[in-house]
Structure 1
Amino acid sequence: PWSAEHRLGTDQIGRDVLTRLIYGARNTIGIAFVTTALAFAIGVSLGLIAAINRAWLDQVISRGVDVLMAIPSLIFALMLLSIFGSSALSLILIIAVLDSTRVFRLTRSVAVGVVVMDYVEAAQLRGEGLGWIMRREILPNILPPLVAEFGLRFCFVFLTIAALSFLGVGIQPPTADWGTMVRETANLIQFARFDLKAGLTPLMPAAAIALLTVAVNFVVDWFLHKTSGLRDEH
């Protein structure tokens, strides 16, 4: 039960729910952030290369991305995690590669319109390298949509990790994780008619997942509004 010692009660084996929520936030959010950053490093790099080199390399990368995107991400992740194991490293690498396909699509679509600009052609005529052009000429001009996509992609990665943990192939016990906490305490809902607080125990990590997702979306909407050049009319 809830008490002064256990503010949100304990789970089915007596572990403090509030403490596990706090540690679960560190694990779930930390792994989701690292995974999203890696997905962007892969997707943005390949997207810029494909946008600059509109020849056979663009076709090879684009067709490979099409193949990966044709397979449902959650099912593909479940299959790969069953093969390679449910370690944190496998979780990060597999989800990062799968989500980098979406980042690649966005990066390539916005970079194609920048590559044809005069200042990019001037840099190419000066003999600047591919990395310099990507870093100094193209990336700064496509940064706002990429930053907004980073927030949205973080939400999707976060929800994917929580879903995989709920299914038992994500972050493994005894490591605290919000998705795992929902799965482990789901049976307590049936005791809600006897003790309402006990029935609310599995809803705490579920509410934390929902609140974080909504909060990140609000931040992304605010950033898009600020970078779009629009002003509120009063």
Structure 2
Amino acid sequence: MIGIFGKLRSKHDRAVLLLVFWLLLALIGPLCSSYNPGAISSQPVFSGPSTAHLLGTDYLGRDTLSRLLDGIRHTVLLCFASTLLSCSIGTFMGIAAVTSKSWVEVLAGRVADGFLAIPSLLFALLVIAVFGTSTVALIMTMGVIYMSGAYRTSRALSQSVAQRDFVTMARARGEQMTYIIVQEILPNIAGPMMADIGLRFIYSVLLLSNLSFLGIGVQPPSVDLGSMVRENMLGVVYGSPAMIVPVIVIAVLTVGINVTLDSHGRKD
């Protein structure tokens, strides 16, 4: 791995490799596990690393590595889906606010301000209390929460681009608004929006981990990184990897993804 990173000299190449690594780990990591994430082994609880269990066992004697791979899958895929939803809606609203009539901008701004006025964790608790803790509910909740931030970023970028000469010339040529949006505005805001996607993804990971730590996120028998920390809190007394490793993975995941997309945005 060190040799591969040495050959990838540019920050962008290293960032892309890191992003691909997390996505592949989320998709195929659980398939490479030797144990069922929910299977209880014959080893004692909170046992240390061994040849049979590379990261030891958790509070029920389950293989920590298998649980970790399954937790990474749920965390990455759920947060990726919610981030894609929030940024897609927010970007569309931001462009529409700039290119449409004034009442559209006023309406979109009021909706965004309304969601921003509610603390994200409190809003998530209210929605989950009404609709439950299903996967769809979690994705929709996180998507709606972070839609407002994406809208503000998209609107500011689109407003700047819409005032440039090449957009004015396109309008003077009689180009349709669809052409101006797709060919002129979107390509020029894509780079900065990629950096914003990194922030939304980090916020989603932290919110999902908080919800799972409180017991209202991903529900058993499924697991994510936040629920692994909650389940194995007693393991910190024994220095168990079942408690420590998920915390480290959350930190590495959030920082790594942010650096990935931020460096891509600066290059673009």
Match of 1:230 in 2: none
Moved over 6 A (4+): none
Match of 1:6 in 2: 53
Note if 1:136 corresponds to 2:177: no
Which structure 2 segments of 5+ residues have no match? 1-46
More displaced stretch, 111-120 vs 127-136: 127-136
Match of 1:215 in 2: 256
Alpha-carbon distance between aligned partners in 2 of 1:124 and 1:145, rounded to the nearest angstrom:
24
Does the 8 A contact of 1:32 with 1:157 survive in 2? yes
Give, as a single letter, the amino acid of the residue that structure 2 aligns with 1:218: V
Alpha-carbon distance between aligned partners in 1 of 2:89 and 2:260, rounded to the nearest angstrom:
24
Give, as a single letter, the amino acid of the residue that structure 2 aligns with 1:166: F
Aligned residues: 221
Alpha-carbon distance between aligned partners in 1 of 2:267 and 2:205, rounded to the nearest angstrom:
25
Residue of 96, 107, 121 corresponding to 2:154: 107
Alpha-carbon distance between aligned partners in 2 of 1:61 and 1:225, rounded to the nearest angstrom:
28
Alignment of 1:63-212 (within 5 A): 63-190=110-237, 192=238, 196=239, 198=240, 200-212=241-253
Deviation of residue 212 (structure 1)?
A: 0.9
Which structure 1 segments of 5+ residues have no match? 228-234
Does the 8 A contact of 2:131 with 2:137 survive in 1? yes
More displaced stretch, 126-135 vs 2-11: 126-135
Deviations 1:164-215 (A, max 9, x none): 111111111111211111001112223x2xxx4x3x4211111110111121
Match of 1:30 in 2: 77
The TM-score, its normalising length taken from structure 2, stands at 0.78
Identity %: 39
In the superposition, relative to structure 1, how do residues 81 and 130 fare at CA in structure 2: closer, same or farther (>3 Å)?
farther
The TM-score, its normalising length taken from structure 1, stands at 0.88
